[in-house]
Amino acid sequence: MASEWRRQLNDWLQEHMLAVTSVGTIISTFMFLIGVLGQWYSDETWAPKGILSFVGDWAIYVLIFGIIALGFSSYYLWLTRHYMSRFEEIISTNSKKEFQKNWTEIEQIARYQLPQEYKKKVSKAREKFGLR
């Protein structure tokens, strides 16, 4: 039961990784800013009093969690974008030799890192170059 749930979650995350990491980066940036404001600028007139009063003395924890979450989400956002751009770079080649040279890498990226639509692009590229 748990392994099936975990597999479904992994499949869902693979399909929506760009959106999940983008939202995570936005939320963690907001948490980081609220933590900074609550820790060092809570007495300023321009600070959002309503949010800071809700956070209260937990501002340092919001700041720490925001830094950690921002680091992870930013890294995974960058990694997802890197895989997408690398995939497009490899798939856009017109050289069969170059495509075959990078075959293992493109298969791994399409299978384990990117959504299902990229697997379909790999299949079309295989047909284009006459590979099995």
**What residues have CB less than 8 Å from 65, skipping those under 6 apart?**
31, 35
pLDDT digits (tens, 9 = 90+) for 14-30: 899 999 999 999 999 99
Domain spans, the chain: 2-129
pLDDT digits (tens, 9 = 90+) for 45-95: 878 888 888 888 899 999 999 999 999 999 999 999 999 999 999 998 888
Phi-psi label, residue 115: left if phi above 0, alpha if psi -120 to 50, beta otherwise:
beta
pLDDT of residue 84: 94
pLDDT of residue 125: 87
